[in-house]
Structure 1
């Protein structure tokens, strides 16, 4: 009788072909289940747990549509934050994904592209790890399938599927890892280095944070491996470093201009709009369940996580026990041991400068405080370092499931019981969605076009801002950025040139602050002539052609009262009230 994962010799090739077909189909089916509520109406629904970031990726996909169909610059957009624009390289523009999908965005809508990318990202990441594991690291297809499903559908991946298109598309990562490891082989320096460099470029245009995490993890892995197997490393280090040099040169040449644009062109920024200890991994989350896991409880999870899109560990109690079991089982394997050390180091970094337990500072200082303000590191949300150990856990599970084949029957049964108790509670639930405000006929029937001629903008109130003006930004993106709009949710400098610290908003102006207060608190101030003059000044700066009051939302009556006081009575057409601003002058573009 064969043990778990073994293949009878006579039927092995047939069985392998079958499982190699069914595994990716299973991953795809699971991804569809996770996204099923969004797929019902991808252009009309919004991911409820992070509608802001959902809107960001609608924007970058609509931008790619303009790049392909209108010849716009891939690295800059003048359609958001008008008239200044947005440095797209300084934002997560996923150009490697958004440009190929531009025809889908153009003809079916950016919402369809978002749903497609998240679905294929989850399933593709799982299959990529399955492929690398099954071809290079384990003999058992069952073990590889377990590793793949965890790498692709771990709680952290499902959590980031709530709007983080960039983080769920990680299928390039396992091939980067494998190409790095292959550089130790004779004759691989040039060819392997070029392949690795091209993969680095591809990943850079998907998500730079993931690339940074991968580089840090491989760095720790190599150092740990060198310490534990010095004789092995001494025999291969020259060709290994030569291959890395070729990869660095290849990637450096191809990325030189894009990275220059990101860090030095207008719209660049430095640092994040929050301190390093604001978003960190909670120690208790190692043993808890994520919101989207089958056993998850949102109320309890909130005490251990910064947001629904950052449930970056949450292995569950049995999952944590099985991690320890897996490490013990593969401890004699130096590479597995080095991988475990790398995962532990990145996990420790994700805890931030001070350890937190159930949301409370313990006062215990941690090593990350020493590097929290190092350039590049200061651009990262610290808790996301914990995505690395989640992936390494998937690899360790696969290695342990592969090794258990040689164990006695009783130990095998105990192992599989433990894996069942660890994995079943982590089965992901469908992501929650909400209905988005439908596009008004004013836009869909093209009425707006006469108001945005001659480089004028269409302004929605509430203004497009993070957390408060999602509808206006979403409307612009679903119209494939056919018109420009001021402000928006993006990353840029908070107050250039005086302060280039990163911000999620455009620099503050009198009118944006005024409209925000009225929406937030519902109190309408009595405007002075000086106030009206400053509002007019801002509208001229924004090159206003028309202002639309978004129906519904928070305190719409107060917002309307303020606009009437400042601009007079509105007109009505196409399901909205609007103010014609074409009488205002349009300043020349800088």
Structure 2
């Protein structure tokens, strides 16, 4: 039996140049953009004042990296390092998701309109751009039908996993380079593509590295599994193309390696580097039940039920719905005669299996059934990945397979076509995304907006907000600093760095612990005011000197503000009310020299 082709390369010239195809190519991206705007509309109403409710911490992280890029462009700051967060140590920006390929071009937007506008713009264009990129590759190279390409592109760009990550993960929603990376890899088999194709692929890899390395890793793993699976099924093809294919990969590796050598050295060996994650591999995994569930941001989603199958609102990485899952399986069956489709399905299945982690979990309960991922969970690079995110790959592959199935269904009898389209409607309509929830962020006080803070932070001094900027507990202080485009330095913050260097370089979301940070955290959490001793006050003073304090600012409101104020009064004396906030002038403390 000969293999049935899944797709054609290119379009019939008469069709491709027709008026209606050109109109469709204009309407499809417009529709994608409109849908993305609807999803982000609550944030667009007040992008600098509102915060994505499902993950305000990561929203703050991307405000931070955008503010850093603004300083790189407008103040000449170093691109791979900043001393404006985690003062006086600073942050290794290459070891964090700094999205420099996006944040640097948007620096003027951040500078003139604010980081909140840049976040909203990047998420909106990320969703719409990813959908259109897949539509473009599908319609030009893989399917005849523009309807099939539009359905596939919409699924790849607005699948539950993409909308879920839109709750704050700017890096994961900007995947518009991925389809072109995939297609350039597959084109390396063509004659005459070794040098040109390899260079193009290498440049795409470099650009994607400066958007999101995790996505690049997922893409590489998926293509590796796909190539191996396809090679086993079609050894005749492999024998004919392997030399030029490997040659093209070699050129791509040389191109990317030359351009990324220093940035990657900085990421893994410069100060601020870390190894591993602050959690075990089995902490964030994909739940088997989520394959047929609905994400909380899908039209049919129920947040209470979804929480039983998902680690967070930004990690609903499968959630195809019962009919959606059936239609994905139906698509695989329809395309089974194609080795390429089978290889793609196998790649998706392998990455899905990896996302389950070392032990299978169903409805939030460990089954005790061991899985293969346990054998590789601590392999370097793999140990830097949140395991459940491997499931983003089968979601994308599902979109491609659905497009191929839609393209093929036209050759089926009328009754099967009707059943197929009924199934597609029942599968896709419940997955239509809902607008993302937002909350109002704490407004910037006049102390900042009127520039009153500036005399306090001269000479390398810092502005310290209480609660201290930390993951989950001090987000307001970090948000204030980022919305001011890091015009002043602040200690601590939410970022990835070593837990306690040099003794422990395990990745951590917080700066190394200090007496004052622990003390203020406990006061905020539990509202209990400790009785400070002279030794306690001395340790607080030592920490303020270490942090190069110029001024301490109490953030109004929040959790247990009276208790926090009482501790500060005990340690530092009575505050001044300046620009709408209570402050403690620390300019009398010495400023230690920088290392």
Q: Which residue of 2 aligns with 1:477?
A: 482
- Give structure 2 stretches of 5+ with no counterpart: 1-10
Q: Distance in 2 between matches of 1:126 and 1:73?
A: 34
| SS of equivalent residue, structure 1 residue 454 | helix
In structure 1, what is the equivalent of residue 142 of structure 2? Answer: 137
- Deviation per CA, 1:45-67, whole angstroms, max 9, x where unpaired? 00000000000000000000000
Call closer, same or farther: CA 1:521–1:264 in 2, change over 3 Å: same
Larger deviation: 69-78 or 8-17?
Answer: 8-17
Q: Which runs of 4+ in 1 moved over 4 A?
A: 6-12
Look up the match of 1:488.
493
- Give the C-alpha shift of residue 14 in structure 1: 1.1
TM-score (norm 2): 0.98
Within 5 A, what are the aligned runs for 1:409-428? 409-428=414-433
Match of 1:210 in 2: 215
Q: Map of 1:130-209 to 2, 5 A cutoff?
A: 130-209=135-214
State whether structure 2 residue 544 is matched by structure 1 residue 542.
Answer: no
Matched, 1:111 2:113: no
CA apart distance, 1:8: 13
The corresponding residue for 2:397 is 392
Which residue in the other structure is 2:7 paired with? none
Deviation at 1:267, TM superposition (A): 0.1
The whole-number CA distance in structure 2 between the counterparts of 1:454 and 1:252 is 40
CA distance in 2, matches of 1:8, 1:217: 32
CA drift at 1:333: 1.0
Alpha-carbon contact 2:63-2:479 (below 8 Å) kept: yes
Deviation sequence 1:7-32 (CA, Å, 0-9, x none): 99789711101100000000000000
Indicate the residue corresponding to 1:95 in structure 2.
100
1:273-312 superposed matches below 5 A: 273-312=278-317
Distance in structure 2 (CA, Å) of the matches to 1:356 and 1:147? 29
Matched, 1:330 2:338: no
Query: What aligned pairs does 1:424-435 form with structure 2 within 5 A after superposition?
Result: 424-435=429-440
SS at match of 1:546: strand
Secondary structure in 1 aligned to 2:243?
helix
Q: Aligned with 2:379: secondary structure? A: coil
**Residues in 1 aligned to 2:362 and 2:412: alpha-carbon distance in whole angstroms:** 38
Residue 555 in 1 paired to residue 560 in 2? yes
Aligned partners of 1:439 and 1:475 also within 8 Å: yes
Q: In the superposition, relative to structure 1, how do residues 264 and 360 fare at CA in structure 2: closer, same or farther (>3 Å)?
A: same
CA–CA distance in structure 1, aligned partners of residues 433 and 51 of structure 2 = 19
CA distance in 2 between partners of 1:569 and 1:91 (Å): 38
Distance in structure 2 (CA, Å) of the matches to 1:325 and 1:221:
20
Question: Match of 1:291, SS?
Answer: coil
Residue number in structure 2 paired with 1:575: 580
Please point out which of 335, 341, 346 is paired with 2:346: 341
Is residue 421 of structure 2 the alignment partner of residue 454 of structure 1?
no
TM-score, length-normalised on structure 1?
0.98
| SS at structure 1 position matched to 2:507 | strand
* 1:511 alignment partner in structure 2: 516
Q: How many Å separate the matches in 1 of 2:305 and 2:511? A: 35
Whole-Å separation in 1 of the counterparts to 2:91 and 2:329: 46
Alignment of 1:223-372 (within 5 A): 223-372=228-377
Contact 1:160 1:168 in 2 (8 A): yes
Report the secondary structure of 2:337's partner residue. coil
Could you say what secondary structure the match of 1:418 adopts?
helix
Kept in 1, the 8 Å contact 2:67–2:482? The answer is yes
SS in 2 for 1:194: helix
Q: Which residue of 2 aligns with 1:57?
A: 62
Check the 8 A contact 1:543/1:587 in 2, yes or no. Answer: yes
| Contact 2:15/2:21, CA 8 A, preserved across alignment | no
Residue aligned with 2:458, SS: coil
Cα 1:323/1:468, change in 2 over 3 Å: same
DSSP-derived class of the 2:283 partner = coil
Q: Distance in 1 between matches of 2:570 and 2:265?
A: 46
SS in 2 for 1:36: helix
Name the CA distance, whole Å, in 2 between partners of 1:11 and 1:408.
Answer: 27
Match of 2:48 in 1: 43
The alpha carbon displacement at 1:409 in A equals: 1.0
Secondary structure (helix, strand or coil) at the match of 2:369 reads strand
Task: Please say if residues 462 and 515 of structure 1, whose CA atoms lie closer than 8 Å, have aligned partners that are also in contact.
Answer: yes
Query: 1:532 corresponds to which residue?
Result: 537
State the partner residue of 1:73: 78
In structure 1, C-alpha distance between the alignment counterparts of 2:17 and 2:485, rounded to whole Å: 51
**What CA distance in whole angstroms lies between the structure 1 residues aligned with 2:580 and 2:440?**
18
Which secondary structure state, in structure 2, belongs to the residue aligned with residue 453 of structure 1? helix
Contact residue 127 and residue 162 of structure 2 kept, 8 A: yes
Match 2:381 to one of 370, 376, 399? 376
Which of 23, 30, 38 is residue 18 of structure 1 equivalent to? Answer: 23
Q: Deviations over 1:498-534 (max 9, x none)?
A: 0000000000000000000000000011000000000
Which of 120, 127, 132 in structure 2 is aligned with 1:127?
132
CA distance in 1, matches of 2:484, 2:283: 35
* Matched-pair contact (CA < 8 Å) for 2:462–2:489: yes
Q: Per-residue displacement from partner, 1:532-566 (whole Å, max 9, x unpaired)?
A: 00000000000000000000000000000000000
8 Å CA contact retained: 2:468, 2:477 = yes
Report the Cα distance in structure 1 between the residues aligned to 2:412 and 2:267, rounded to whole angstroms. 53
Change (3 A) 1:182 1:12: closer
Contact 2:52 2:168 in 1 (8 A): yes
From 402, 414, 419, the counterpart of 2:407: 402
Instruction: Assess if the C-alpha contact under 8 Å between 1:68 and 1:102 holds in 2.
Output: yes
* Distance in 2 separating the partners of 1:384 and 1:490: 19
Equivalent residue, structure 1, for 2:39? 34
Q: 1:293: how far off?
A: 0.1
Residue 408 of structure 1: how far off its partner (Å):
1.1
Partner secondary structure for residue 410 of structure 2: helix
Quick check: 1:7–1:15 contact (8 Å CA) kept in 2?
no
